[in-house]
């Protein structure tokens, strides 16, 4: 990570690009560091870059055949070695959403739906629905309630 002062900033000719996270506005920025000035491209989700001339910026950079690409670093967030922003691995203790737990819940929901469609689980009562909802959200089946199990069919080849 490097620290510098923004000396100049202007929108790129293309204005930005479409990414998986939505439209990214791009800017050409000149940053004065202790090692000298460096000019390159930086992206932002806002049409007006959130920092201005003479503002301090913490950044990382890469260089390719087109020049330098800067990425602003927010020091209040831990920096990992991954390039994905870290959301997929963010845990409960980080103060943010637990994406891993959410994804596990989504997978459990799909398995429950498949079992209902296959006739292996029936939801005969509202209590069954609430129990399956609790299982999908937490992964724990309440011991006092088990879902109504359908009678197995002799030629059932479904592996779950």
For the chain, the structural domain boundaries read 2-76, 99-149
Which pLDDT score is estimated for 30?
A: 94
Contact 21, 41 (CB under 8 A): no
Which pLDDT score is estimated for 57?
A: 92
CA angle 82, 107, 144 (to 5 degrees): 130
Q: Give the model confidence (pLDDT) of 31-54 as tens digits.
A: 999 989 999 999 998 888 989 999
Which pLDDT score is estimated for 82?
A: 41
The dihedral region occupied by 36, where left means phi > 0, alpha psi between -120 and 50, and beta the remainder, is left
Which pLDDT score is estimated for 32?
A: 93
Is the predicted pLDDT of residue 95 greater than 70, yes or no? no
Binned at pLDDT 50, 70 and 90, residue 29 comes out as: very high
Which pLDDT score is estimated for 158?
A: 56
For the question of whether the overall pTM of this predicted structure is more than 0.75, the answer is no
**Tokens 């204005």 found at:** 15
Pick the CATH number of 2-76 from 2.40.50.100, 3.50.50.60, 2.40.50.140, 3.40.50.150: 2.40.50.140
């Amino acid at each position: 990570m490097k620290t510098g002062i923004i000396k100049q900033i202007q929108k790129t000719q293309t204005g930005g690009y479409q990414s998986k996270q939505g439209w990214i506005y791009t800017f050409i920025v000149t940053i004065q560091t202790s090692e000298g000035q460096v000019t390159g491209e930086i992206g932002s989700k806002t049409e007006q870059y959130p920092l201005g001339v003479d503002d301090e910026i913490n950044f990382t950079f890469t260089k390719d055949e087109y020049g330098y690409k800067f990425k602003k670093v927010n020091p209040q967030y831990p920096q990992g070695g991954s390039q994905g922003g870290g959301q997929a691995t963010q845990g409960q203790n980080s103060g943010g959403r637990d994406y891993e737990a959410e994804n596990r819940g989504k997978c459990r929901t799909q398995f429950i739906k498949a079992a209902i469609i296959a006739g292996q689980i029936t939801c005969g009562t509202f209590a069954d629905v609430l129990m399956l909802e609790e299982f999908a959200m937490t992964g724990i089946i309440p011991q006092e309630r088990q879902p109504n199990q359908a009678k197995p069919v002799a030629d059932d080849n479904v592996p779950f």
